[in-house]
């Protein structure tokens, strides 16, 4: 109003709740402009905090468009493992095609040493031919040592390996396939604590801890077959135990220095030679 003094401005407010019939006051609230502003800001902040907690700590976040759920995360991990495997295959084919081109054109082939020098330290260990031969010879000696038990001779059936029914060692995804020199086994990714089963009837000839392979168990089967299970979280059998096909012998883990994630490193040996388990056993999806 004209001529109104600044001191006459309204500074306090009152909010009343009145019974419409009796005009009795049911509730009266008094506040100032500053108090009203603080209350509104606090209410907005509290609402935002509650919404954040609902999204961050409850399954409601999976309903947000574009938010990755558990299936998406598993697919991403599976795709990452497949990409890593494909990179290895591509590198091998590039090396082969380059040497083939050089031989056709009369040039000297590329030496494996030159490729090893250009690889990172971790890949050098994988491509170190001398280390691979040494590891392979040690494993062959270990397998031959277990043959001294003569366990396969007592129940020998003389069946061709193609006619033997194997039980899958674990349900999972094959993250790395068989290579007779670089990787004479298959790696099967599975959740930690998953049950590892014996692929055939047999006798446990070794159940121990190894710095590189972690908890490892070896089983001697009839027909000169040996199965080896590495990087386990826990062993359920000990040396000398008799097992049946499908019987739990360990739990999937991530033990030992030669592992980068939870998985089962599975080897199958026949007459002292490592063979590709994927040719005889259904190991699930993979590369």
Residue with tokens 């919404």: 51
Per-residue confidence of the chain (287 residues) as pLDDT tens digits? Answer: 455 555 556 677 777 888 888 878 788 878 787 887 888 899 999 999 988 887 777 766 666 666 666 666 677 777 777 787 777 778 777 777 777 777 777 777 665 555 545 545 545 455 455 566 666 666 666 666 655 554 444 444 455 677 788 999 998 888 888 988 888 999 999 999 999 999 999 999 999 998 889 999 999 999 889 999 999 999 999 999 999 999 999 999 999 988 888 999 999 999 889 999 988 888 865 55
Classify residue 166: in a domain, yes or no. yes
Residue-range definition of the domain harbouring residue 48? 11-63
C-alpha triplet 194, 195, 196: angle, nearest 5°: 115
What confidence score (pLDDT) does residue 65 get? 66
Domain containing residue 235: CATH number:
2.70.70.10
* In a shared domain, residues 85 and 189: no
Examine the domain organization and report whether 84 and 156 are in the same domain: no
Is there a single domain that holds both residue 54 and residue 80?
no
With respect to residue 176, please indicate whether it lies within any of the assigned structural domains. yes
3-state helix, strand, coil in the chain (%, to 5): 40, 25, 35
Distance CA 139, CA 150 (A): 18
* Same domain as 105, residue 16: no
Identify the H or E element spanning 124.
helix 121-127
- In the numeric block, which tokens belong to residue 97? 């095609």
Nearest alpha-carbon partner for 284 in 194, 180, 164: 194
81-120 pLDDT, tens digit each? 778 777 777 877 777 777 777 777 777 766 555 554 554 5
Q: Which residues pair with 238 in a beta bridge?
A: none
> Is residue 3 a part of any domain in this protein?
no
Residues 30 and 105 occupy one common structural domain: no
Tally of domains in the chain:
3
- 126, part of any domain: no
Whether 59 is covered by a domain: the verdict is yes
Q: Is 138 a domain residue?
A: no
Task: Say whether both 195 and 260 belong to one domain.
Answer: yes
User: Within this chain, do residues 211 and 236 fall inside the same structural domain, yes or no?
Assistant: yes
pLDDT digits (tens, 9 = 90+) for 242-259: 999 999 999 999 999 888
Share of the chain above pLDDT 70, in %: 72
């Amino acid at each position: 109003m004209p001529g109104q003094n600044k001191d006459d401005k309204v500074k306090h407010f009152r909010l009343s709740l009145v019974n419409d019939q009796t005009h009795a006051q049911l509730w009266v609230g008094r506040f100032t402009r500053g108090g009203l502003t603080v209350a509104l800001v606090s209410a907005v902040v509290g609402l935002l905090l509650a919404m954040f907690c609902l999204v961050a700590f409850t399954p409601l976040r999976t309903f947000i468009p574009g938010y990755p759920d558990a299936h998406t995360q598993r697919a991403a991990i599976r795709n990452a493992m497949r990409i890593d495997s494909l990179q290895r295959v591509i590198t091998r084919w590039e090396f082969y095609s380059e040497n083939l081109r050089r031989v056709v054109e009369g040039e000297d082939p590329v030496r494996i040493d030159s490729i090893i020098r250009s690889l990172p330290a971790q890949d050098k260990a994988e491509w170190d031919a001398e280390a691979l031969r040494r590891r392979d010879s040690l494993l062959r000696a270990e397998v031959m040592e277990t043959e001294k038990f003569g366990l396969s001779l007592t129940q020998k059936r003389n069946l061709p390996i193609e006619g033997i029914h194997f039980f899958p060692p674990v349900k999972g995804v094959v993250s790395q396939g068989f290579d007779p020199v670089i990787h004479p086994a298959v790696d099967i990714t599975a959740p930690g604590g998953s049950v590892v089963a014996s692929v055939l009837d047999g006798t446990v000839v070794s159940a121990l801890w190894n710095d590189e392979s972690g908890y490892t168990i070896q089983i001697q089967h009839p027909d000169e077959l040996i199965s080896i299970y590495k990087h386990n979280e826990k062993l359920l059998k000990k040396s000398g135990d008799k097992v049946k096909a499908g019987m739990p012998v360990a739990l999937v883990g991530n033990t030992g220095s030669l592992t980068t994630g939870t998985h089962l490193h599975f080897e199958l040996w026949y007459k002292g030679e490592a063979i590709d388990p994927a040719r005889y056993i259904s190991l699930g999806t993979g590369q």
